[in-house]
Structure 1
Amino acid sequence: MTQPPALPPFRAARDSHAEEERDRRSLAEFLRLEVSGGLMLLIAAALALGLANSPLAEDYFSLRDHHLDIPALGLELSVGHWASDGLLAIFFFIAGIELKRELVVGELRRPAAAVLPVVAAVGGMVVPALIYVAVAVAGDGDTGGWAVPMATDIAFALGVLAVVGRHLPSALRTFLLTLAIVDDLIAIIVIAIFFTSDLNLLALLGALAGLALFYVLHRRGVTGWYIYVPLALLIWGLMYNSGVHATIAGVAIGMLLRTTAGPLEKQSPAERVEHLVHPYSAGLAVPLFALFAAGVEVSPDTFGDMVTEPEALGVVLGLFAGKVIGVFGATFLAARFTKARLNPALTWPDMFGAAMLAGIGFTVSLLIAELAFTGVPHLEEHVKVAVLIGSLLSAVCAGVLLTLRGRVHRAAAVQDTSSPSR
């Protein structure tokens, strides 16, 4: 039997390169899927919990707390802090782009369409914070963690919705996305104002000057990653040294990008950059943050202690109950007493499910837990466990409810298509 002729070396190399390129594109497209971000977060958190409660726990915590300092630049951070202050800035950069796009060309551009999700976001942050403070005061606990249950995790919430919401109206996703973006904006403001250490005015002015330079270069059409990446790193470093949380630099840079395409452009710069950076955020930055942030020791004693700790109880109740009450209640009251109206494709049970999804705090909640309880390690760990419990309860209950709602919408759609036309 004759063998097929061997490919010429140059052709074999070219085919191999093309296959690698296709694999890279396939991986990037997978990471851009909403469900992928939630899945990567879940895997990273599960791995972190597994490592923190295994024979490798000592090595895991040693790696997390190992310092990688650059003293000449004023950067003295552990591996865990490089993930939360550094890598997470990429996540906030994407959040900044999404916020800018919504403000310029999205739902937040039209006040009539933005009223309900904006009101829902505010209610969904105020009520959990009040519940936390009430529980903490009643139990003589630390009220400093009031901001922990305020945040909604965009990636996780939209990932769950992508899995269970195939038959739900697309308006529900739009509502949840707008809510989560406004939620992120408020969370960013909270971090900037309430979790800023001693302010270094000179470094802050340097960061603002860097942002101004970024804006001028971008508006004048200057291109080249070799210009913007070093400038972004400089802005980040100055922001870190200013005392303002370094992730704010990511948001600010994201919001400076132009979201409208020019006459000769197929895509706006913001859309093009987001398309390139999003896989790194979903597949690297956020999972690595979760890998080092969610690693807490959990034992029967942990749960026993948490039952008596108002801080942990306040976080669980704030995420699981406070978000539902705040988001659903604010939406209902706004629709009842103002001219704002629910999208005709949605029903109030759908909104209740979306309100439950908003209780998935995860990424930003874990970050705020680190900031709020920096000097109290045992409380920080227990509050992180509470974030995981509250987020898991919200995800499971919302998943069940929205799956049932999806069946209702599917049955209605089938009935409409089978009904004879009039």
Structure 2
Amino acid sequence: MNTTPAPRRLFSRGSWAQARRVADVLRTETVGGVLLVIAAAAALLFANSPWRDAYTALAGFTVGPAALHLDLSLATWAADGLLAIFFFVVGLELKREFLAGDLRDPRTALLPVAAAVGGMAAPALIYVAINLANPDALVGWAIPTATDIAFALAVLAVIGTHLPTALRTFLLTLAVVDDLLAITIIAVFYTDQLSVPALLGALVPLALFTLAVQRGIRSWWVLLPLAAITWVLVHESGVHATVAGVLLGFAVPVLGRRRVHGVSLSEHFEHRWRPLSAGFAVPVFAFFAAGVTVVGGEGGGIGGALLDTVTLGIVAGLVLGKTVGVLGATWLVQRFTRARLSDDLSWWDLLGLAQLAGIGFTVSLLVGELAFGTGTPQDDHVKIGVLAGSLLAALLATVVLRARNAHYRRTEQIETRDADGDGVPDVYQEGEPRRDG
């Protein structure tokens, strides 16, 4: 009698609850991705038009109380303030995934976490290798390590309408873990001067915010002031202020008896804040961050950028590094855990997904500004590298995933069949489905 356990399947179908949640997230992030592209295109248009000076003046317009060291430019408010909302949602989602989602099982979490780590390590190594002869450029090693969740999911929604839910879930989870690693890198490696008193002071309003949400308080007039004070003190400490957003997201409870309209407080906040993050905060940041003069300008435009190893390292990191890192990590997980790829999927699917992970935009632009400073020639080259690398990665992924999408279109009926009419597709009740062809 053969008692050898069946090998674990990579990218097997998750729970129906997870599939529904991913579908909800996809709808919001897809709209946000479209707005992100529109904002970036508008920035490029203004930066290369007769209104270039007006665009620069708008980005540099200063507003805020000087007494609190918050007399910041609009571009800085977008990067430090609005992106804190984005990372607040990231914090909510991460905590929920690992405490109540499918990733609470370490065996399930291993693959996207390993892929995220591989997808950050390989681009960083490639960037460093290209810039070894240019020590001043090595500070930008983290620029090509991030995946833009809104941009990538928007592309996937357009080109992958029939791809399996497991692939969408994997990309979403990889991008979220990627964001956590990115904010950790920002906090550790891009903090020049640290004010310990301000950082310790931020723990007080953060603790009060945590106590309030743990008791089920969700009144804006209580939580928003505490969140704002936490953000101000983290900003004053020298740590990038977006870290405050992640910490506040981690504070919101996922489990427990306190529910809001049948869902946890974490889910309630995520539903409320994700549209603001994807539909406003990230596009506004993109509008101020993506404006680069591609012809002439202080950095020499595209011509100057193509001669700079910073640009070449970013493009190679996003296009080649992400693909090698994500695919390599997935192969290693399969090799050393004796897991097997689900029968539903092909390594071609993984190739397209790994290429899609090379779309680095929001966090990559943020890291570029922190590494080289806003308005420098290198900053312009970073923007050109991020835009070019993300566009090339999206095009390569489109070629692969469009072909796979045509294959999966033939099996869509099996994916959505609901014979008993209970609203849950049969494949989520019967285990792994059989596929035709």
**Which residue pairs with 1:384 in the alignment?**
383
* Other-structure match for 2:201: 206
Query: Equivalents in 1 of 2:386, 2:435: separation in Å?
Result: 51
Which structure carries more helix by proportion? 1
Percent identical: 52
Instruction: Note the C-alpha offset of 1:166.
Output: 1.4
Any idea what SS the aligned residue of 2:62 has?
A: coil
Q: Which runs of 5+ in 1 are unaligned?
A: 1-28
CA distance in 2, matches of 1:347, 1:357: 16
Counterparts in 2 of 1:269-284, with a 5 A limit? 269-284=265-280
* Structure 2 residue corresponding to 1:71, chosen from 53, 58, 66: 66
Q: Which runs of 5+ in 2 are unaligned?
A: 1-23, 418-433
Q: What SS is found at the alignment partner of 2:200?
A: helix
CA RMSD of the aligned region, Å?
2.3
Which amino acid letter does the alignment assign opposite residue 242 of structure 2? T
1:87 and 2:86 matched: no
Corresponding residue number in structure 2 for 1:338? 337
TM-score, scaled to structure 2:
0.85
Partners of 1:36 and 1:420 in 2: CA distance = 31
Written as runs of structure 1 = structure 2, the 5 A alignment for 1:171-182 is 171-182=166-177
Q: Is 1:408 paired with 2:404?
A: no
For residues 59-82 of structure 1, give each alpha carbon's deviation from its aligned partner in whole angstroms, at most 9, with x where no partner exists: 110111121131222213111000
Counterpart in the other structure of 1:303: 302
**Cα pair 1:167 1:406 within 8 Å, conserved:** yes
Residue 142 of structure 1 aligns to a residue whose secondary structure is helix
Residue of structure 1 equivalent to 2:9: none
Question: In the alignment, which residue of structure 1 is the partner of 2:289?
Answer: 293
Task: Tell me whether 1:128 sits opposite 2:127 in the alignment.
Answer: no
Deviation at 1:415, TM superposition (A): 9.9
**Secondary structure of 2:72's match?**
coil
CA separation of 1:323/1:280 partners in 2, compared to 1, >3 Å: closer, same or farther?
same
* Cα drift, residue 115 of structure 1: 1.2
Q: Cα gap change, 1:413/1:274 in structure 2, threshold over 3 Å: closer, same or farther? A: closer
Contact conserved, 2:28 with 2:275, CA < 8 A, in 1? no
Q: Secondary structure at the match of 2:285?
A: helix
Q: Secondary structure at the match of 1:298?
A: coil
* Structure 1 residue 306, shift from structure 2 partner: 1.8
Alpha-carbon deviation of 1:342? 3.2
- Find the aligned partners of 2:207 and 2:258 in 1 and give their Cα distance: 25
Q: TM-score, normalised by structure 1?
A: 0.88
Counterpart position of 2:97: 102
Secondary structure of 1:390 counterpart:
helix
Superposition deviation, residue 111 in structure 1? 1.1
Q: Please give the alpha-carbon distance, in whole angstroms, between the structure 2 residues aligned to 1:350 and 1:372.
A: 34
Deviates more, 1:264-273 or 1:205-214: 264-273
For residues 112-191 of structure 1, the aligned pairs below 5 Å read 112-138=107-133, 142-191=137-186
> CA offsets, 1:112-134, max 9 Å, x none?
11111111111100000000000
Comparing 329-338 with 254-263, greater Cα deviation is found at 254-263
User: Which protein is bigger by CA-based radius of gyration?
Assistant: 1
Post-superposition offset of 1:143:
0.6
Deviation digits for residues 40-98 of structure 1, max 9, x if unmatched? 00000000000001010001101111211312222131110000000111111111111
Contact 2:124/2:317 (8 A) holds in 1: yes
The 8 Å contact of residues 107 and 178 in structure 1, kept in 2 or not, is answered as no
In structure 2, C-alpha distance between the alignment counterparts of 1:32 and 1:405, rounded to whole Å = 21
Quick one: distance in 2 between partners of 1:337 and 1:259?
A: 32
Q: How many residues align?
A: 392
Once residues 168 and 25 of structure 2 are traced to their aligned partners in structure 1, the CA distance between those partners, rounded to angstroms, is 19
Which sits farther off after the overlay, 389-398 or 121-130? 389-398
> Alpha-carbon deviation of 1:31?
10
Q: Go from structure 1 to structure 2 and tell me whether the alpha carbon gap of 1:84 and 1:412 turns closer, same or farther (over 3 Å shift).
A: same
> Structure 1: which 4+ aligned runs deviate by more than 6 Å?
414-417
